[in-house]
Amino acid sequence: MYAFPMKASREAASFFVIGLILAGANTQAAQTIHGRGGIVLPPPPDVEAVPVTDDYFGTKIVDNYRWLEDARSDQTRAFIDAENAYTNRYLEQAHIRPQIADDLDPLVNVTETGAPIERNGNYFFMRRLAGEGQFSIYVRHGWTGKDERIIDPAAFSRDPNTSVYMNDVSRDGTVVAYSVQQGGADETSIRFYNVKTRKTLLDELPSARYFSVVFAPNGASVYYARNNKEGTLLYQHTFGERVSRDTLVFGHEFRGEPLGGNDLFSGKITDDGRYLVIQISRGVPPRREDIVFRDLTRPGSPFDILVWGLDARFSVIYAGGAWYVKTDYNAPMGRIMKADPGVMPEAWQTIVPEEKDVIDDWSIVGGKIYVNRLHDVKTETEVFTLAGKPAGAIDFGGIGSASILLGRTTDRYGFMSFQSFIVPPTLYRIDTATGKREIFFQPRIPFDSSQYELQQVFYKSKNGTQVPMFIAGKKGLKQDGSERLLMTGYGGFDVSETPYWDPEYAWWMQQGGWFALPNLRGGGEYGEQWHEAGMFEEKQNVFDDWFAAAEYLIANKYTSPEHFAIRGRSNGGLLMGASITQRPELFSAVWCGYPLLDMLRYQKFKVGYYWTTEYGSADDEKQFPYLLKYSPYQNVKPRSDYPAVMFFTGDSDTRVDPLHARKMTALLQAASKSGRPVLLHYSTSSGHSAGVSVDQQIQDMTDELAFLWTETGQPAPRK
Backbone angles phi, psi at 662, to 5 degrees: -60, -50
Pairwise CA distance, residues 124 & 220, whole Å: 20
Q: Are 126 and 114 in contact (CB under 8 A)?
A: yes
The torsion angles phi and psi of 79, rounded to 5 degrees, stand at -60, -45
What residues form DSSP beta bridges with 393? 382
* Catalytic position from the list 681, 688, 689, 693: 688
CA 519 to CA 662: how far, in whole Å?
29
DSSP strand pairing (335-339 vs 349-352): antiparallel
Number of Cβ atoms within 10 Å of the Cβ of 130: 14
Q: Is 660 a catalytic residue?
A: no
- Shortest CA distance to 469 belongs to which of 531, 547, 536? 547
Is the Cβ–Cβ distance between 170 and 119 less than 8 Å? yes
Query: In this structure, are residues 291 and 339 in contact, taking their beta carbons and an 8 Å threshold?
Result: no
User: Which one from 570, 652, 672, 683 is the annotated catalytic residue?
Assistant: 570
Q: Is 121 exposed, middle or buried (0-12, 13-18, 19+ CB in 10 A)?
A: exposed
Where are the strands (E) in 495-618, listed by range? 514-518, 564-569, 589-593
688 is catalytic: yes
Peptide bond into 285 cis (omega under 30): yes
Instruction: Give residues with Cβ within 8 angstroms of 79, minimum separation 6.
Output: 2, 45, 47, 68, 662, 666
Cβ neighbours around 685 below 10 Å, total:
17
User: Catalytic residues, which ones?
Assistant: 570, 688
